[in-house]
Structures are given as C-alpha cells and as structure tokens.
C-alpha cells in the first residue's frame, strides 16, 4: 500500500483533489478554443475515455465568448489555462470556469495576482500554480514571483518561483491552491516535486511537460509520475503526449492502475509471444481489450486480472495466478478460473470463453 502525502483538499467542479481523494485524471483539449463544436466533441471523447477534468487554453479576449459556451455545455469541469494576460483569469472566473491555471513565469505582478486571488475567493474557484521549466523568468527580468536563473539550478528556481507565488496568494488569505512543477526532464521534475513537498501541504498536479511523442512520452510519464506516486506524492495527473488527448487519459489510467491506486477495469496480463507461441496471441489480446472496453466491466466487482499466455513455459503459472487465464498450446489453450483448470478451448473461442468466465 502506498502511503500518500497528507494534503489539503480543493475541488474542481465536483472533483475533489487532495485530502485523500482518489488521484484524478486530467487532460487538455488540442482543438482551437474558438471552435466550440470541435472542442466540445473532444471533451466528450475525453469524458468517455475516463478523463475527469479538462484544461482549455484561453489565448486572448476573443476566446472568452466561445469559452463561455464550452463551459456551459462541457461534460467535464473546465480548468482554464491562462498566460500573459491577467484579465483573462478574471473573465474566466466570471463566466464559470471551475479552476484557473496560472503560470508564475508570465503573470507575476503582485497586484495582478492579488486581484485574481480575490476574484477566485469570491467565486470559490481554485487556482493551480503551474510552474514550467520552459517559462521561468529569464535572467535580468524583475518579477516578484518569477525567479531569475542566476546560476541556480532549474529545480531550485522552479521551487522558489512556486513558493514566492504561493506566498502572494496566502497574503491575500487564499489557500485553494494546487501546484505543479513540470520540467521536460524526468529527473528535474521528480526532484522539484520532492523538494516542494517539504514546504507545503497543497495538493500536487503531476506531469512531465513537453514529454514528446507517444512511446517516449509514455515511458517518461510512467517513470516520472510513477516514481512520485510511489512516494505518495501527487493528487491529480496529466500525461502530456504529442498525440491524441484520449491516449493521454489511457496512459494515465495505466499508470494509476499499475500502482493499484485506481481501478478502471480488468487488468490484462499477456506475454510478448516468441517462437514457442502457436496461436495468434496479439490478435486475441487486441480483441479481448476491445471487448472489455465495450462491455464496461462493473468497477464495483473489484480488481480482476486476466492472463493470456502463449505457451506452457510461463502460461499455466500466470493463468493459474490470475482470476481468469488461458495458457495456449497448438491452436487451443487451457482455461483457468481462480487457479483451477476449467476446460480446453479452441483458439477462436479464447475471447468468448474469457468473457463468459467473468
């Protein structure tokens, strides 16, 4: 069991973050916010995939009327992503955004931050202090909340930036804060969150920024987010992929379920296959995955494992340890349920028999 860091609780819409709440999954739309229909369709897809909070980029004042429509119809609570223009945060709060993400690297005049804190307080809207290694204040530029990189490490600058920003909110009496400290480096990200955890009890939004394309970013996110979660650090996660946002949600779900922090449905245990395998295991597993997604196995039934193994080397062992398993042989396999052999099944019936055994 992972012992989670004790954090304050904040709420984004109906979703609780921190304070022992389940670690939530979020993503960000990739459509142009001004395209209301496309953005709502993307949010719908994200919600279906299991996303719980959606972040939307708000680039300029012209984005505000479409944003209002999106917030009204969104299937998920909307966190608005605001940079450079403080008034956009005030306007987003005014039209019902469920949370605001601010970047200390580009909105950092104390009076602006205080005005936003007051408006957020009145509206009951939480703020995420989203520090990003790519937008730390450059050397020589004065700012109360940004930190110039004068020879200090990026990690220390990120943490200092978050601490200074947090203080401004605290001076205004505002504590509905979440914090993220994202770097494109896995090691820097882990170090930054670890350090910050020693300074506050605000809930953390975890992510590796600009993590790259699907495979590499999945690995980076699994290592970075996974390492922190193993230490009990993290209250909500966003996997960043240069790919479909729905895949971000799928990867996040896999990270959380691998650590047994959340349960989203049966876990498939399948071997990579090799020269010993005498069935088309890849095809079987793909079909099984599709079927399981389609039937939406009830979460109330509790965690369940399904092993689909290619031969007698590890097959019978894994199949017997799983709740349901198949150890394949030549064009057929032995079906196991709760460690006991049920019967021999034909390769073409593997998926049907597994689903029947659920």
Closest CB to ligand SF4 among residues 225, 309: 309
Of the candidates 302, 31, 10, the residue with the CA atom closest to the CA atom of residue 175: 10
Q: State the number of binding residues for ligand SF4 (CB under 6 A).
A: 12
41-68: burial string, b at 16+ Cβ within 10 Å, e else = ebbebbbebbbbbbbbbbeeeebbebbb
333 touching ligand SF4, by CB under 6 A: no
CB of 317 to ligand SF4, least distance (A): 9
Q: How many residues does the chain have?
A: 358
Closest CB to ligand SF4 among residues 97, 271: 271
CB of 170 to ligand SF4, least distance (A): 55
User: What is the SS3 string spanning 233-265?
Assistant: CCCEEECCCCCCHHHHHHHHHHHHHHCCCCCCC
Q: What are phi and psi of 20, to 5 degrees?
A: 85, 0
* Nearest residue to ligand SF4 on Cβ basis: 310
CB of 68 to ligand SF4, least distance (A): 54
306 touching ligand SF4, by CB under 6 A: no
Give the N- to C-terminal CA distance of the chain in Å, as an integer. 26
Stretch that binds ligand SF4, among 101-109, 125-133, 265-273, 333-341 (CB under 6 A): 265-273
Question: What is the C-alpha separation between 333 and 317, in angstroms, rounded?
Answer: 13
2 touching ligand SF4, by CB under 6 A: no
For tokens 């504590």, name the residue.
175
313 touching ligand SF4, by CB under 6 A: yes
236 Cα distance to chain centroid: 6
Structure tokens at 247: 């895949």
Dihedral sign, CA of 88, 93, 94, 96? positive
315 touching ligand SF4, by CB under 6 A: yes
Among 197, 309, 335, 354, binds ligand SF4 (CB under 6 A): 309
Q: What are phi and psi of 190, to 5 degrees?
A: -60, -45
Stretch that binds ligand SF4, among 74-82, 124-132, 223-231, 269-277 (CB under 6 A): 269-277
CB of 325 to ligand SF4, least distance (A): 12
Residues sharing a CB contact under 8 Å with residue 345, sequence separation 6 or more, in sequence order: 326, 332, 333, 334, 335, 353
Closest CB to ligand SF4 among residues 106, 273: 273
Among 35, 135, 185, 273, binds ligand SF4 (CB under 6 A): 273
CB of 327 to ligand SF4, least distance (A): 8
277 touching ligand SF4, by CB under 6 A: yes
197 touching ligand SF4, by CB under 6 A: no
CB of 355 to ligand SF4, least distance (A): 22
3-state secondary structure of 305: strand
CB of 297 to ligand SF4, least distance (A): 25
Q: 324: which strand partners? A: 306, 337
276 touching ligand SF4, by CB under 6 A: yes
Stretch that binds ligand SF4, among 78-86, 87-95, 152-160, 273-281 (CB under 6 A): 273-281
CB of 275 to ligand SF4, least distance (A): 7
Question: What is the C-alpha separation between 105 and 162, in angstroms, rounded?
Answer: 10
CB of 180 to ligand SF4, least distance (A): 39
321 touching ligand SF4, by CB under 6 A: no
69 Cα distance to chain centroid: 25
DSSP structure class, residue 276: T
271 touching ligand SF4, by CB under 6 A: yes
Question: What is the C-alpha separation between 330 and 349, in angstroms, rounded?
Answer: 14
Residues in contact with ligand SF4 by CB under 6 A are 271-274, 276-277, 309-311, 313-315
């Amino acid at each position: 069991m992972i012992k989670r860091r004790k954090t304050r609780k904040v709420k984004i819409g109906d979703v609780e973050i921190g304070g022992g709440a389940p670690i939530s999954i979020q993503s960000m739309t990739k459509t142009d916010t001004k395209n209301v229909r496309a953005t709502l369709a993307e949010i719908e897809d994200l919600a279906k995939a299991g996303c719980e909070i959606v972040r939307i980029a708000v680039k300029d004042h012209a984005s505000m009327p479409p944003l209002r429509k999106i917030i009204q119809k969104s299937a998920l609570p909307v966190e608005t992503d605001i940079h450079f223009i403080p008034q956009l945060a005030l306007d987003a709060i005014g039209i019902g955004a469920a949370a605001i993400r601010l970047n200390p690297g580009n909105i950092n005049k104390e009076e602006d931050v205080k005005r936003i804190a007051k408006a957020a307080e009145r509206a009951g809207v939480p703020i995420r202090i989203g520090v990003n290694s790519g937008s730390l204040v450059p050397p020589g530029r004065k700012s109360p909340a940004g930190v110039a990189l004068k020879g200090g490490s990026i990690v220390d600058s990120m943490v200092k930036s978050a601490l200074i920003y947090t203080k401004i909110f605290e001076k205004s009496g505002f504590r509905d804060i979440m914090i993220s400290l994202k770097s494109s480096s896995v090691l820097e990200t882990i170090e930054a969150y670890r350090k910050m955890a020693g300074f506050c009890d605000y809930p953390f939004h975890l992510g590796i920024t600009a993590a790259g394309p699907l495979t590499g970013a999945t690995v980076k996110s699994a290592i970075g987010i996974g390492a922190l979660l193993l230490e009990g650090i993290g209250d909500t996660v966003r996997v960043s992929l240069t790919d479909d946002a729905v895949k971000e949600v799928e990867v996040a779900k896999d990270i959380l379920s691998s650590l047994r922090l959340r349960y989203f449905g049966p876990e498939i245990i399948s071997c990579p296959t090799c020269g010993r395998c005498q069935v088309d295991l890849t095809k079987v597993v793909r079909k099984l995955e599709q079927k399981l997604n389609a039937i939406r196995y009830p979460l109330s039934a509790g965690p369940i494992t399904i092993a689909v193994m290619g031969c007698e080397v590890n097959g019978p062992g894994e199949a017997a340890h799983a709740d349901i398993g198949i150890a394949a042989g030549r064009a057929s396999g032995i079906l196991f349920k709760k460690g006991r052999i049920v019967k021999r099944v034909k390769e073409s019936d593997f998926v049907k028999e597994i689903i029947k055994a659920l």
